[in-house]
Amino acid sequence: MSSDDPAIGPDHSFTVGASLPGTRGRTGVIDTPHGQIHTPAFVPVGTKATVKTVLPESVAELGAQAVLANAYHLYLQPGPEIIDEAGGLGAFMNWPGPTYTDSGGFQVMSLGVGFKKVISMDVVGEQNDAATAAGKERLSAVDDDGVTFKSHLDGSAHRFTPEVSMQIQHQLGADIIFAFDELTTLMNTRMYQENSLERTRLWAIRCLAEHNRLTRERTHRPPQSLWGVIQGAQYEDLRRKAARDLVTMSAMDQADGGRGFGGFGIGGALTKDDLGTIVGWVNDELPQDKPKHLLGISEPDDIFVAIENGADTFDCVSPTRVARNGAIYSRDGRYNVTNAKYRKDFRPLDAEVENYSSQYTRAYLHHLFKAKEGLAATLATLHNVSFIVQMVDGARGAIEAGNYIEYRDDFLGRYYASSRSSGS
């Protein structure tokens, strides 16, 4: 089949904008069938086709350009067939803009060993491929063909392969989907990381083949962009090899009439200290005319580091998760509104961040959390998502205006000043 066949066609486009001198950072625009994403951009997580506690319309009004949902969770409930029948993820959840879905690769790790995917990976001690988090049962088993796992909902047995992941994500209908991968942890040995990287490479080849087949078959749906995922943990040679392998794979697929990868995801085990270094290694190997998504970050300093090392978009559940426990982002640092000192604090959550929650006081949210009212989580979530979205929008504007360094230093200087002064 020729590369100009309308059933395959060109992938979603990405246009590079302004560059950030002395860094790998840049602005750009990702074009999708459901609208544009101006990068760098923060993508809120809507795991089960919802950003928890808030309306999709509210998320759009905050300025979020896209949302990311979870293929594993939507596969289990309500099922990809139902979302496909509804017209795809966006139509199902009444979200008008671009959408992402992950591949289920994260659940390979979290169900297998029980470690949370945060920057630190929450692991200490000697490397041990059999390690599991304290008190956790292994619910998944990886082999070279795919993953067998138990549902966390009812214990039923399921099987994910690269082909199954592609079939699920095509039914979910997101604009941007990710190749099926194995997410390792920092507990894994070097030998395991090498074997896992080869497994993920072979899975990516299968993902491309199945993606191309489904794209030809499902011409009644908008085209989707498949992004390869780069693993390799903390090892420079493995990270660079993974990136080069995906670039070669994509070029070969396109030469054979396929779509290739429309972009690349950067995932896997890393620490906060080496985040920028790893993203930099990867970006040195990847084509500059393709967008890159960094999976699972949200703290302000991490986001700035990611931007400067070439990440175009990024997602994380943290802003919404901590909001549901009363943690509020502000220009002067993060604080917990449930603390007693906010009981009579009639200031807005952050006087410098204008959003829907600006009209409500800290005292009111303190009351709502103490009274266990659902509105507490809604207002806190709206505020935190808005805070991160506006912060990244500001960084994008600063790159375009040529004053990024000043913007970054001012933002982070204020945000972390309170923790530095308290010694925390």
The pTM score is 0.91
Torsion of CA 355, 356, 357, 359, to 10 degrees: 100
In the structure encoding, which two tokens stand for residue 52, read together? 């928890």
Q: Is 145 a catalytic residue?
A: no
Q: Is 102 a catalytic residue?
A: yes
Helix (H, G, I), strand (E, B) or coil at 316: strand
CA distance 272 to 269: 10
Q: For 377-406, b where at least 16 C-beta lie within 10 A, e where not — what string?
A: bbbbbbbbbbbbbbbbbebbebbeeeebee
What is the per-residue DSSP string for 326-379? TEE--TT--EETTSGGGTT--SBS-TT--SGGGGSBHHHHHHHHHTT-HHHHHH
CA distance 387 to 381: 10
Catalytic hit among 11, 84, 102, 253: 102
Q: What is the pLDDT along the chain (424 residues), one digit of tens a residue?
A: 333 443 444 458 999 999 999 999 999 999 999 999 999 999 999 999 999 999 999 999 999 999 999 999 999 999 999 999 999 999 999 999 999 999 886 665 555 444 444 434 445 556 765 655 555 566 778 899 999 988 888 889 999 999 999 999 999 999 999 999 998 888 889 999 999 999 999 999 999 999 999 999 999 999 999 999 999 999 999 999 999 999 999 999 999 999 999 999 998 888 889 999 999 999 999 999 999 999 888 689 999 999 999 999 999 889 999 999 999 999 999 999 999 999 999 999 999 988 889 899 999 999 999 999 999 999 999 999 999 999 999 999 999 999 999 999 999 999 999 765 444 3
Catalytic hit among 11, 181, 253, 315: 315
The domains of the chain are located at 18-316, 327-422
The CATH fold assigned to 18-316 is TIM Barrel (3.20.20)
